[in-house]
Structure 1
Amino acid sequence: IIQSNSAECPFPDLDSHSTCKVKIAWMREMWKSDSCYADWGVDGSDCTIYHYLSQVEHWCPPTGKNINSTKSVRSKAKIMKQNFTELFKILGRDIQYKWIKMRMRRMQGSWLEAAQSLAAKFDTGKWKKKKASVLLLLGLLAKETGFKIADNAFKGGPLGELVQWSDLISALYVLGHEIKVTNSVEQLTELFTPFLSSASSNCPIQAKPYDILYTDISGLKFLKHVAGNKFHLLQCEIRVVDSFGTEPEFNHAVYAGRKQHSSQWGKWNFNPKQFNTMFPHTPDNTFLGFVIEKHINSTLAATYKKENISLVYGKLDTFWQGKEEYINAIHEVSPVHATVETSEELNHVPPFVINHGVLPGFELHALLQRTKVFVGMGFPYEGPAPLEAIANGAVYLNVRFSKSSPLYEKAASFFKGKPTSRKLTSQHPYTSTFIGYPHVRDVDIDNLDSIKKVITEIFESPEVEPYMPYEFTCLGMLERLGLLVEKQDFCQGDESPIWPPVAALQTVQTDDQQSCMEACTLKGLICEPAYFPYINLHTHFAKEGITCDTFKVPDGTKVEIDFPAHADGTCYIQSDPLLYSCAGRYTTLLHICPCRNYIKGQVALCKDCL
């Protein structure tokens, strides 16, 4: 038994740390089974064994004493950048980055101004001063994928992922971190082979070419191919740029198989927080976000006059199919404008629509400055355009989806095969949940009289002020990403300090149908999966006033995502941390949920997070 009162090795009391004690017993017998343990400083003594299990593999509580090892520590100070010169050199002349670099050039002034504001806003002593070495692997631009996303970016193709990558790279650079960017599988192999070839699969790698690795699902597949059976040694430093998110039940390989989920995008067995989304779709993932670009400053905006016109959100002719009655009703009370791509014949856009074609950013925002109503048609889902419209003072008509409507079924079909169980209740749920009236009006696309009334009311009311959610500004993203890089650590075990601070924890219970996400939202809160370990305890049921005649800790074949939970005197403990879930729901048990407050306009952060 380790002596916790040793002056040389002041270990904490281990009575409540059964896993730690089991690992110590194993290491005493097996530390010579792999030379990698000795490389980390283990010499068979209880002191070095404990420090290894505490600081390297994180099975035991920390002691505060540093282990003797050859592990490199980056000590360079982080200094915010003053220009983008070095960043453009990093990206080089690779044609795959052409669209990304164009966006960076347009926005560099806004990023640098935001960096100055961030330094002024916060006491720099509260921010991590050491720079992180960050590798960014853009798998979507690798030639092996065959996606041709970079080419299609200039032909009306989807831009959301390129926008997010551009802003992530810019923000990391401006914050002062050391970055390397690649889309080459060949370069990836060259980079990792020296580190992996000599590594043991039993110990963490002592030196890596990065502290954090951002990639996407395509990049993950390339990385797994390069690393082979040593992929797990790289796993905890990875952050996945994942537009729509990956929920726990799809991420957990065994559980996804048991539920017969067919998605080809899940089953990675990551901490769900390692997936970074465009919008705060599910609190199980990390909200990384992006920036809504401002093309028109306040001085120029003052020269534009709002007109009683409606601009339809739909750049492709196919988006207009089946919407004839809806558009006709709007036309009865308003001139209808559009920005539809015209390379092919328009079969579904009515002749009375004033079509401007696909507009460059400045011209589109100039049109939005004149527009009072930005018309959603139910698709595309959760894009940036409604936020751009709201930021230019237009009111967004957000189409609701009733469970009996074809639009609801269409949305469900769109998400089929993706690693999420989300069921959209509108075209853009974020705008209703986190922005709302007067900037957003939820409408029933089949209630034509109501739609005409809403538009008339908007025209007759005072103009709505432009609104930009802080989290979609350069400053908001720098603030959020700076804290995420500093605080998120998926290589630490359960003994690591929790973030967000546990002081923000509030618990609620679901009814027999709600998910934790829904239950927390009804209370004006956000579900926070980091807090699940604090409530997944026998003692917490009593604290909540719940009587437990029987406790059950289900095995791997019976465990569900909506544990911890209870019903009829039986209480269920979650036995698999990878299945802690805010979004999931499979039983009619009463799920106990960890919630937290959030900063309005910065939903990723609690009020004490700063």
Structure 2
Amino acid sequence: MITVNPDGKIMVRRCLVTLRPFRLFVLGVGFFSLCFLMTSLGGQFSARRPGDSPFTIRTEVMGGPESRGVLRKMSDLLELMVKRMDALARLENISEPHRAAGEGHLAADRTPAGAGLMERIQAIAQNVSDIAAKVDQILRHSLLLSKASEGRRDQCEAPSDPKFPDCSGKVEWMRARWTSDPCYAFFGVDGTECSFLIYLSEVEWFCPPLPWRNQTAPRPPKLLPKVQAVFRSNLTHLLELMGGGKESLIFMKRRTERLTAQWARAAQRLAQKLPGVPRDQKQILVHIGFLTEESGDVFSPRVLKGGPLGEMVQWADILAALYVLGHSLRVTVSLKELQSNLGVPPGRGSCPLTVPLAFDLVYTDYHGLQQMRQHMGLSFRKYRPPQTGACTPSGQGAPEDRSAGAPARTQSCLGATRRLLGGAHTPDNSFMGFVSEELNETEQQLVKGGKAGNMAVVYGKEASVWKGKEKPLSILNKYMEVHGTVYYESQRPPEVPAFVKNHGLLPQPEFQQLLRKAKGGRAKAGLGGQRIPAHESPVSPQVDPYLPYEYTCEGMLERIHAYIQHQDFCAVTGSAPLGARAPPSPFVLAPNATHLEWSRNASLAPGTWPPARSLRAWLAAAGSACTDACLERGLVCEPSFFPFLNSQDAFRRLQVPCDSTESEMSHLYPALAQPGRECYLQREPLLFSCAGSSAKFRRLCPCRDFRKGQVALCRDCL
């Protein structure tokens, strides 16, 4: 510090740290000691593993005796430093020149530098001595743990247990790939044999539990008290659950808002039809996979540009139906939300869930199903959906020919089986459907009076679907004025014929008004389905507006209610294996000897829905599918009844002599080969299907009755 005396002379005041020889020596020795300490103990701390505390010291790098010896040497070195510094301090005090008279007033503020340094070095020496004692205790404890772990390490070898045949192979896999997914480290895997076996026995189930591990049984999940579902009429909370930010969600919410009054009236009517029927409130996860960013979400940007809206219509109506029925919903449209609700551990989805699913039912689509398969890991085998098909408005879909955004229903259960799907529009999957806007008496009269003389509306919002359709459209144009709603931005699409009056993309209310003006139901045609007649007059007589019951809000509520109440994907039904003693046959031959019926004296199969008494079994003609065989008799095919017919007894009761009976895999079985008398049973229950036909086989088909206006339900299904 620079000071000025009264006489004008400039003096330099020394600071605490000055460049004197003994101070340089002290700093050098201190720095050397610090480096020596870090070097000596650093190797031990470098052996830390993920999950160790900052105070964990491992003895693999340096043994306990060596570490204690290092600490003793450091303590001795510091004691030597104290002695030498004491001598240096005395030497400095002797050689210290007297201060000038001008510095006399500062002498009282100073303390001998050597004395202060001595105190600090002595304090450091005492601290290191204390550390040495504590580290010595830690090392002794570490040696005891090391001996115990050595004994355990002998037990960390993959056991040869016939009950766990995959254990050794899984351990080999873990050795090579345990770093491939962060979820393994999340569960404590650190590359040691013990961590592999602990994980494979306690998180997964491929290895037996280790005898030296704590074998306390996990606490069963706390069951929530059952709550009765109550019909709802206010859908405000549902709109909040649906979220926003996407054009597709905005479209769905607007549709739900527009139909709120219609849903409320339907709930009131259904409640009157089901008086006193107990309905447990279900915890339901609805994951709309095709709207997630991970799946591309190609729908949202095209909502206002002529993109497909059918999937969004179905999802909006399913959400509304579930909510109006009084169930608890969780709606997700992102992968992050899905992972959070499933309880997926961090990582890439290789590890299973360690807690039960918090949902009774899951509604999702093919994108969502793929995401669940990817991120649920091995748990997907436990909770995998037994039925993965999408549901189309006019029937049931299949993966190969149906949009990946259509809904499907799964159930949270253990040991469930998946059903492979047949062709499109077959009963192999439960029909979900959607609703259509209902008209009151006044509106119906207005529609009748507002019909245009000769007007047809052709549905096709994207220009590409009009390509190659000019010939059938020109035939339609001979009899009617053709209108369209094709989206375009600036120029009229060249694919649309010039005689078509294009209104552009219309909002839903305006589009409904346009449809109501069209003459007759057949005049409203869709290009995708090729419903435009090419060689007959499309003009139909005047008809009254008609809406099938299953497309009303009440019809959809009734259908979804029946599915939730009665469908049990976890129940396993099936025929006895070949050679096993089968139970008494539940079938009797009908009086006219044409088909089998469920005997009145036979007990109903537990957990079967639809009820087994609605079963009618027919032997179809060669080349006929079961869907057609049942339809010809005024019935519908019921795939859940196939296991009852998959037996030799069914053929015998139908008076079909089988020269031989084989069990093989084919979507056509059970069936009778043509020509000949070879009978075939189904070996793989996943292949049961109402669809499919072959001229070489006569299929054994399970049919059932149905409710008027509600084909998805049998007469006794409610």
User: Whole-Å Cα distance in 1 between the matches of residues 463 and 221 of structure 2?
Assistant: 61
> 482, 492, 512: which is aligned to 2:571?
492
Tell whether 2:445 aligns with 1:298: no
Q: 1:498 to 1:488 in 2, by over 3 A?
A: same
1:379 aligned residue:
527
1:584 Cα shift? 2.5
2:470 aligned residue:
324
2:425 aligned residue:
281
2:705 aligned residue:
597
Deviations 1:49-76 (Å, cap 9, x if unpaired)? Answer: xxxxxxxxxxxxxxxxxxx965735501
Contact persistence 2:287–2:333 (CA under 8 A)? yes
Q: Which amino acid aligns with 1:142?
A: T
Tell whether 2:376 aligns with 1:227: yes
2:263 aligned residue:
111
What SS does the corresponding residue of 1:479 show, helix, strand or coil?
A: helix
1:211 aligned residue:
360
2:241 aligned residue:
90
What SS does the corresponding residue of 1:124 show, helix, strand or coil?
A: coil
2:667 aligned residue:
561
**Runs of 5+ unmatched residues, structure 1:** 1-25, 28-32, 39-67, 252-262, 382-398, 400-426, 428-442
Tell me how many residue pairs correspond in the alignment. 459
**Structure with greater Cα Rg:** 2
User: Whole-Å Cα distance in 1 between the matches of residues 344 and 418 of structure 2?
Assistant: 29
Q: Which amino acid aligns with 1:471?
A: E
Higher deviation after alignment, 237-246 or 138-147: 237-246
Q: Which amino acid aligns with 2:566?
A: K
Contact persistence 1:212–1:239 (CA under 8 A)? no
1:191 Cα shift? 2.5
What SS does the corresponding residue of 2:378 show, helix, strand or coil?
A: helix
> 424, 449, 452: which is aligned to 1:307?
452
Contact persistence 1:74–1:130 (CA under 8 A)? no
Contact persistence 1:532–1:593 (CA under 8 A)? yes
User: Whole-Å Cα distance in 1 between the matches of residues 356 and 230 of structure 2?
Assistant: 24
Q: 1:341 to 1:247 in 2, by over 3 A?
A: closer
> 486, 491, 499: which is aligned to 1:340?
486
1:602 Cα shift? 0.9
Instruction: Provide the alpha-carbon RMSD of the alignment.
Output: 3.7
1:511 aligned residue:
621
2:223 aligned residue:
72
Higher deviation after alignment, 357-366 or 154-163: 357-366
Q: 1:341 to 1:192 in 2, by over 3 A?
A: closer
1:37 Cα shift? 13
What SS does the corresponding residue of 1:286 show, helix, strand or coil?
A: coil
What SS does the corresponding residue of 2:691 show, helix, strand or coil?
A: coil
User: Whole-Å Cα distance in 1 between the matches of residues 264 and 433 of structure 2?
Assistant: 18
Q: Which amino acid aligns with 1:108?
A: T
2:543 aligned residue:
464
1:524 Cα shift? 1.7
Q: Which amino acid aligns with 1:72?
A: L
Q: 1:292 to 1:561 in 2, by over 3 A?
A: same
Q: 1:362 to 1:241 in 2, by over 3 A?
A: same
2:300 aligned residue:
150
User: Whole-Å Cα distance in 1 between the matches of residues 390 and 467 of structure 2?
Assistant: 32
1:465 Cα shift? 0.8
What SS does the corresponding residue of 2:689 show, helix, strand or coil?
A: coil
2:281 aligned residue:
131
User: Whole-Å Cα distance in 2 between the matches of residues 134 and 481 of structure 1?
Assistant: 13
What SS does the corresponding residue of 1:490 show, helix, strand or coil?
A: coil
User: Whole-Å Cα distance in 2 between the matches of residues 543 and 35 of structure 1?
Assistant: 51
What SS does the corresponding residue of 2:381 show, helix, strand or coil?
A: helix
Deviations 1:505-526 (Å, cap 9, x if unpaired)? Answer: 1112222211111211122211
Q: 1:192 to 1:319 in 2, by over 3 A?
A: closer
User: Whole-Å Cα distance in 2 between the matches of residues 578 and 541 of structure 1?
Assistant: 21
Q: Which amino acid aligns with 2:238?
A: L
1:467 Cα shift? 0.9
Higher relative contact order, structure no. (Cα contacts within 8 Å, ≥ 6 residues apart): 1
User: Whole-Å Cα distance in 2 between the matches of residues 196 and 605 of structure 1?
Assistant: 43
Q: 1:298 to 1:361 in 2, by over 3 A?
A: farther
Contact persistence 2:419–2:686 (CA under 8 A)? no
Q: 1:185 to 1:552 in 2, by over 3 A?
A: same
User: Whole-Å Cα distance in 2 between the matches of residues 99 and 337 of structure 1?
Assistant: 24
1:82 Cα shift? 2.8
Higher deviation after alignment, 206-215 or 237-246: 237-246
1:210 Cα shift? 0.6
Tell whether 2:690 aligns with 1:574: no
What SS does the corresponding residue of 1:77 show, helix, strand or coil?
A: coil
What SS does the corresponding residue of 1:357 show, helix, strand or coil?
A: coil
User: Whole-Å Cα distance in 2 between the matches of residues 153 and 582 of structure 1?
Assistant: 35
What SS does the corresponding residue of 2:459 show, helix, strand or coil?
A: coil
What SS does the corresponding residue of 2:456 show, helix, strand or coil?
A: strand
1:323 Cα shift? 3.4
2:651 aligned residue:
541
Deviations 1:417-448 (Å, cap 9, x if unpaired)? Answer: xxxxxxxxxx4xxxxxxxxxxxxxxx741x2x
User: Whole-Å Cα distance in 2 between the matches of residues 142 and 107 of structure 1?
Assistant: 26
1:348 Cα shift? 3.9
User: Whole-Å Cα distance in 2 between the matches of residues 273 and 174 of structure 1?
Assistant: 29
2:598 aligned residue:
none
Percent identical among aligned pairs is 33
Deviations 1:80-134 (Å, cap 9, x if unpaired)? Answer: 1130122122223443521111111111111111111100122332xx4210000
Tell whether 2:516 aligns with 1:369: yes
Q: 1:37 to 1:230 in 2, by over 3 A?
A: closer
Deviations 1:281-301 (Å, cap 9, x if unpaired)? Answer: 11111101111234x543134
Q: Which amino acid aligns with 2:708?
A: K
Give the TM-score normalised by structure 2. 0.58
1:598 Cα shift? 1.4
Give the TM-score normalised by structure 1. 0.67
1:241 Cα shift? 4.3
User: Whole-Å Cα distance in 2 between the matches of residues 102 and 489 of structure 1?
Assistant: 33
Q: 1:70 to 1:229 in 2, by over 3 A?
A: closer
1:306 Cα shift? 2.2
Q: How does 1:231-270 map to 2 (within 5 A)?
A: 231-236=380-385, 241-243=390-392, 245=396, 247=398
What SS does the corresponding residue of 2:262 show, helix, strand or coil?
A: helix
Q: How does 1:1-16 map to 2 (within 5 A)?
A: none
What SS does the corresponding residue of 1:162 show, helix, strand or coil?
A: helix
Deviations 1:448-479 (Å, cap 9, x if unpaired)? Answer: xx22xx42xx3xx4x20111111111100000
1:544 Cα shift? 0.7
Q: 1:191 to 1:318 in 2, by over 3 A?
A: closer
